[in-house]
Chain A
Amino acid sequence: MLTLSGVGKRYPTGDRALSDIELSLPKGQVMALIGPSGAGKSTLIRCVNRLVEPTQGSIRLEGTELTNLSGQKLRHARRSMGMIFQEYALVDRLTVMENVLSGQLGYVGFWRSFLRRYPQEAVVEAFRLLERVGLPHAIDKRADALSGGQRQRVGIARALLQSPKLLLVDEPTASLDPKTSRQIMRLIRELCAERDLAAIINIHDVALAQQFADRIVGLRAGKIVFDGLPSELDSEMLTTIYGEEEWDTTPEPMDEDESVAATSNSSVQPGDVLPILSAGGAR
Chain B
Amino acid sequence: MPVSTSSQGLPVWRRRTTRAQWLQYVAWLAGISLFLLCWKTISDNTMWVFVEDAGRQGSDLISRMMPPRWEYANVLWKPMWDTLNIATLGTLIGIMMAFPVAFLAARNTTPHPLVRSVALMVIVASRSINSLIWAMLLVTILGPGVLAGIIAIALRSIGFVGKLLYEAIEEIHPTPVEAISATGASRMQVMNYGVLPQVMPAFAGISVYRWDINIRESTVLGLVGAGGIGLQLNASINSLAWDQVSVIFLMIFVTVLVSEWISARVRHAII
**Which A residues fall within an 8 A CB radius of B?**
49, 51, 74-79, 81-83, 85, 87, 89-94, 98, 102-107, 110, 113-114, 155, 158, 162, 168
B257 CB, min distance to chain A CBs, angstroms: 32
> Besides the contacts A105-B180, A106-B183, A168-B182, what 7 more A-B pairs have beta carbons closer than 8 Å?
A78-B181, A78-B184, A79-B184, A85-B179, A92-B176, A114-B192, A162-B183
CB contacts (< 8 Å) of B185 on chain A: these are 75, 102, 105-106, 113
CB contacts (< 8 Å) of A93 on chain B: these are 197-198, 200-201
- Select one of B178, B189, B197, B200 contacting A105, CB under 8 A: B189
A131 CB, min distance to chain B CBs, angstroms: 21
Task: Tell me the bound Cα distance from A98 to B179 in angstroms.
Answer: 14
Knowing A85-B175, A105-B189, A110-B189, the reply to whether A91 touches B197 (Cβ < 8 A) is yes
7 cross-chain CB contacts under 8 A: A92-B197, A102-B180, A102-B193, A110-B186, A110-B192, A113-B193, A162-B184
Flag if B197 contacts A94 (CB, 8 Å).
Answer: yes
Name the CB-closest residue of A to B195: A91
Name the CB-closest residue of B to A77: B184
Name the CB-closest residue of A to B193: A102
Whether, in the assembled complex, B10 has its beta carbon less than 8 Å from a beta carbon of chain A, the answer is no
CB contacts (< 8 Å) of A77 on chain B: these are 184
Name the CB-closest residue of B to A87: B175
Task: Tell me the bound Cα distance from A158 to B184 in angstroms.
Answer: 12
Flag if A91 contacts B189 (CB, 8 Å).
Answer: no
Flag if B179 contacts A105 (CB, 8 Å).
Answer: no
- Select one of A75, A85, A94, A168 contacting B184, CB under 8 A: A75
**Which B residues fall within an 8 A CB radius of A?**
175-176, 178-186, 188-189, 192-194, 197-198, 200-201
CB contacts (< 8 Å) of B186 on chain A: these are 75, 105, 110
Knowing A105-B189, A110-B192, the reply to whether A89 touches B178 (Cβ < 8 A) is yes
Flag if B181 contacts A51 (CB, 8 Å).
Answer: yes
Task: Tell me the bound Cα distance from A90 to B175 in angstroms.
Answer: 8
Among A81, A91, A162, A168, the one with the most B-chain Cβ atoms within 10 Å of its Cβ is A91
- Select one of A76, A83, A106, A110 contacting B179, CB under 8 A: A83
B188 CB, min distance to chain A CBs, angstroms: 5
Flag if B179 contacts A89 (CB, 8 Å).
Answer: yes
Flag if A51 contacts B176 (CB, 8 Å).
Answer: no
CB contacts (< 8 Å) of B194 on chain A: these are 91
Name the CB-closest residue of A to B200: A93
Name the CB-closest residue of A to B181: A51
- Select one of A78, A87, A110, A113 contacting B182, CB under 8 A: A78
CB contacts (< 8 Å) of B198 on chain A: these are 91-93
CB contacts (< 8 Å) of B189 on chain A: these are 105, 110, 113
Task: Tell me the bound Cα distance from A49 to B183 in angstroms.
Answer: 10
CB contacts (< 8 Å) of A74 on chain B: these are 184
Task: Tell me the bound Cα distance from A155 to B179 in angstroms.
Answer: 9
CB contacts (< 8 Å) of B178 on chain A: these are 51, 85, 89
B254 CB, min distance to chain A CBs, angstroms: 36
Knowing A94-B193, A110-B192, the reply to whether A103 touches B175 (Cβ < 8 A) is no
Flag if B184 contacts A105 (CB, 8 Å).
Answer: yes
CB contacts (< 8 Å) of B184 on chain A: these are 74-79, 105-107, 162
Task: Tell me the bound Cα distance from A106 to B181 in angstroms.
Answer: 9
Flag if A51 contacts B192 (CB, 8 Å).
Answer: no
Among A78, A82, A102, A158, the one with the most B-chain Cβ atoms within 10 Å of its Cβ is A102
Flag if B176 contacts A78 (CB, 8 Å).
Answer: no
Task: Tell me the bound Cα distance from A77 to B181 in angstroms.
Answer: 12
Flag if B183 contacts A102 (CB, 8 Å).
Answer: yes
CB contacts (< 8 Å) of A168 on chain B: these are 182
CB contacts (< 8 Å) of B180 on chain A: these are 91, 102, 105
- Select one of A79, A106, A113 contacting B192, CB under 8 A: A113
CB contacts (< 8 Å) of B175 on chain A: these are 85, 87, 89
CB contacts (< 8 Å) of B192 on chain A: these are 110, 113-114
CB contacts (< 8 Å) of A103 on chain B: these are 183
Flag if B179 contacts A79 (CB, 8 Å).
Answer: no
Task: Tell me the bound Cα distance from A106 to B178 in angstroms.
Answer: 14
Flag if A110 contacts B193 (CB, 8 Å).
Answer: no
Task: Tell me the bound Cα distance from A255 to B171 in angstroms.
Answer: 44
Knowing A85-B175, A89-B176, A91-B176, the reply to whether A51 touches B182 (Cβ < 8 A) is yes
CB contacts (< 8 Å) of A102 on chain B: these are 180, 183, 185, 193
